[in-house]
Structure 1
């Protein structure tokens, strides 16, 4: 099996984990762990795991000229990205989260056009418009009365902002991953992530009543740290060594399908007319904006 095939399998695996994460992580917040505290647990857990696994990788030093880019990657990929996503998920619903996360390819396309001057065809511009229209539909008209989703419009907006921050991270990380081993790259990014996220989540972290957490919540936390954080970032960073950032972001197509089916199957969310229409617009917009010829893949 060649490296490109392994990269595709890694991207699919990461997307599948992300798909079920919308429901699994939602079950923890906000009753047991605050959104920002959950992010701190993620970055501390992942940093620890990446430092351990880095013992089996090459010994590398980060060049001084890459310090600033590394910090910026950490801010967008391990700081702002996680903080707004988990806060948004705590305020919104699993299906809304799974749908809005698919705007990432659109964001990557826009940023690629602005930063690295990728050409955008008329069809892609139309796709961007349709996809963002669907996202705005969820933000403006997706309100429901749910005790576990206290502010769905704000939550949806924060999840959309997550797509912007993660898209920025994908573009910036592509340059660094070509220079450093994934273990080296990830251990430093998550270590920086601790410094970035701890000021936001320290108070919530001290409020967690660990002795009262039921096993159902403990395994969910473990899944998010080991699966959603450590495994997915490792899978995606490996995939980036073989695939373009825009190609990797297109795997987000699979995420809402898994996320929606899983949320409905376990009874944690339900489809509404607004969700169905908005999802259809987002999916169609992402499809149009992400279509590439074979030579561009």
Structure 2
């Protein structure tokens, strides 16, 4: 399979996983597990999984003071701050608000890429992000329900989460040029786990786990294995072959996936209007992708 196709397939799957996470996470918290307790379950589970796999299979070490400092920063921005702010914000605000606010990630990525990686921001890339942003905003705006009320503090936490995740995508890019994805992810989750333990410990011990229905256990398993392990691995791997702007642009597909899933379970209706907005998003992602390919051809 062509490498570009593999990259897009991976990023599409990540968007699908994240798109479904908004509604699934709201089923679990705060009724069953508090947001920080849920984060602790996810991050520690992922840290153990990645740590064991990296030690037994990959056996690769991160060398140099600069790379180790960068890994710590990736753990802070990509796991600790990102996860704590997202789930705390989602616990307060509506899923549709969270999906709407997450579309600022590509803008953050574009700014940090220009500042930290000296990535050139061409007109086509700006046009692609603007097109995808317009499609996402229109799609979410027309999908709002009467009960989709937000919360100011929740919305602010989602914005902080989006900013942190955008910075992480830029910070982790140079590491992906020198190390395997599993090596990077295992280390950043170890850093993240240490940081989230003080926040989530009490919420982890509070619930009566024996009273959880099977649907809640399945939702937690999905968030651990799909949202945390698989999504982070695919995202990090994709950064080896794609620029951060393209990975960030796929954030725009999350609301599309969320609405398609809602349609599949009978909670929404797919219309030609929504199809048009979704097409805008795909077109924007395509333009961002084309800028990467064009840059590669010029460099060759």
TM-score normalised according to structure 2 size: 0.81
2:57: which partner in 1? 57
Change (3 A) 1:288 1:190: same
Matches within 5 A, 1:64-143: 64-65=64-65, 66-120=67-121
How many Å separate the matches in 1 of 2:281 and 2:92?
Answer: 21
**Distance in 2, Cα, partners of 1:53 & 1:135:** 37
Match of 1:218 in 2: 217
Q: Structure 1 residues 242, 288: closer, same or farther in 2, change over 3 A?
A: closer
CA contact (8 A) 1:14 1:236 kept: yes
Call closer, same or farther: CA 1:81–1:282 in 2, change over 3 Å.
farther
Secondary structure in 1 matching 2:45: helix
Alignment of 1:1-297 (within 5 A): 1-55=1-55, 57-65=57-65, 66-120=67-121, 152-263=151-262, 265-266=264-265, 292=291, 294-296=293-295
The whole-number CA distance in structure 1 between the counterparts of 2:160 and 2:267 is 24
C-alpha change, 1:260 and 1:94, in structure 2 (3 Å) is farther
How far 1:56 sits from its partner (Å)? 5.4
| Cα separation, partners in 2 of 1:59 and 1:284, compared to 1, 3 Å | closer
Deviations 1:32-63 (A, max 9, x none): 11111111111111112212332553212221
What is the count of residue pairs matched by the alignment?
Answer: 287
The answer on whether the counterparts of 2:50 and 2:185 sit within 8 Å (CA) in structure 1 is: yes
Give the drift of 1:2. 3.5
Task: Verify the 8 A CA contact 2:106 2:129 in the aligned structure 1.
Answer: no
Distance in 2 separating the partners of 1:289 and 1:95: 25
SS at match of 1:292: helix
Q: Is the 8 A contact 1:106 1:289 kept in 2?
A: no
Aligned to 2:31, the other structure's residue is in SS state coil
Alpha carbons 1:99, 1:282 under 8 Å: kept? no
Q: Is the 8 A contact 2:97 2:155 kept in 1?
A: yes
Specify every segment of 5 or more residues in structure 2 that has no aligned partner in the other structure, as ranges. Answer: 139-143, 271-277
In 2, Cα distance between equivalents of 1:183 and 1:116: 23
* Aligned mates of 1:122, 1:168 — CA distance in 2: 22
Task: Please report how far the alpha carbon of residue 268 of structure 1 lies from its aligned counterpart in structure 2 after TM superposition.
Answer: 6.7
Distance 1:280 1:161 in 2: 28
Deviation at 1:121, TM superposition (A): 5.6
SS in 1 for 2:59: coil
RMSD after superposition: 3.5
Mark the runs of 5 or more structure 1 residues left unpaired by the alignment: 138-142, 272-278
Do the aligned partners of residues 120 and 180 (structure 1) sit closer, same or farther apart at CA in structure 2, a change above 3 Å counting? closer
TM-score (ref. length: structure 1) = 0.81
**8 A contact 2:129–2:288 mirrored in 1:** yes
Aligned residues of 1:103 and 1:282 also touching (Cα < 8 A): no
Deviates more, 1:92-101 or 1:150-159: 150-159
SS at 2:199 equivalent:
helix
* 8 Å CA contact retained: 2:102, 2:251: yes
Tell me by how many angstroms 1:31 deviates: 0.8
